[in-house]
Amino acid sequence: MTQFYDARGNIYGVVSPQALRSEGNALPASATECASSRQSWSAAAIKLCCDWPEDQRPANSKSHRSDGLLIGPFQTSAPFDVLIVNTDGTLAERSGNGLTIFSQALTEQGLMPEEGALLRVHHDRGNAVETSVKPAVVEGVQGFWLDLGQPGFGPDAVAAQTVQGIEFNTRDVSHVHPLAQLDPDWAHSQFVRIGNPHCVTLLGDAAALPSNEQMRESPLNEGLTQIAYATPVGAGDPCPAGVNLQWAVLESPQRVLARVFERGEGPTASSGTSASAVASAAWRVGWVVAGEVQVVMPGGTAPILLEAADGELLRVRLFGTARLMG
């Protein structure tokens, strides 16, 4: 029923609405209705599709067999509606790796047009978030360009509260007190909205990058959960709706190292929108120029294309590939 795909170490299950209903999940007819009523069905869907069978969970693995669940399509022709369900049952507004995986699934089902399609992610935080996807081959690899649109910057873009202004590389950024309390090196952050909210903490030394192993351990895990997650799991500080956290350091021209702690998921091997937010933040503080930026995460390297003019970042595109797991 559920097929699992890998995109740069980010694993999502893909299931159709019809398959979920056939298993007794009372999923509403439309994606819009599903989003507004997610508390009545999402936990059961995650348990059904993403929990490890008791006799198959590997030692020291995450509590779920994937980083989330993609439910769709709700149509047989474009545009395609989809729900991105985090393993805690909440809905995400956008996931670069998730939408890459969904595009690959649509391709294998014979539904993806050659010219690409519009994907609409429905969630319970406002209007659906649209992403234009186009099949492409980059350096001999078949994948998809995702047009993520124009990012927004600063506390207002992500509805951040209780933050202070501070300078980094002569640019205005934010001081997020809960992050700086966890590590004094985490004192300079750039907020970015790219369909979903991000907080990119800018570092001068790669040694200050947290590892995924460190972020899974107490007490760091608890501290980051309080910052990244909305209430009641987290504190919703500085963002009441929660925020995705990244740490970034410039390794070489147009190449940035990054780590990711996702709202609703925790530490992840990679994230497409996080990589795009990191590239955007790096441009904002003068680390990189427009053009191709490589964002290196534990799960792989994401090619990002930045388009800018007259001192403004106009568009961000992400290239991704995905494979069906055996």
Residues 63-81: pLDDT tens digits? 899 999 999 999 999 999 9
Between 1.20.1250.20, 3.40.50.300, 3.30.70.100, 3.10.310.10, what CATH number should domain 3-148 receive?
A: 3.10.310.10
- Residue spans per domain, the chain: 3-148, 152-303
Using the predicted structure, report yes or no on whether residue 125 has a pLDDT greater than 90: no
Question: Is 211 in contact with 169 (CB distance < 8 Å)?
Answer: no
Asked if the domains 3-148 and 152-303 are classified in one and the same CATH topology, the answer is: yes
Q: What whole-number distance in Å separates Cα of residue 284 and Cα of residue 184?
A: 22
For the domain spanning 152-303, the CATH number is 3.10.310.10
Q: Which of 189, 208, 212, 211 is nearest to 200 (CA)?
A: 189
| pLDDT category of residue 116 using cuts at 50, 70 and 90 | very high
| pLDDT category of residue 103 using cuts at 50, 70 and 90 | very high
Q: Is the pTM of this model over 0.75?
A: yes
46 phi and psi, to 5 degrees? Answer: -65, -45
| pLDDT category of residue 60 using cuts at 50, 70 and 90 | low
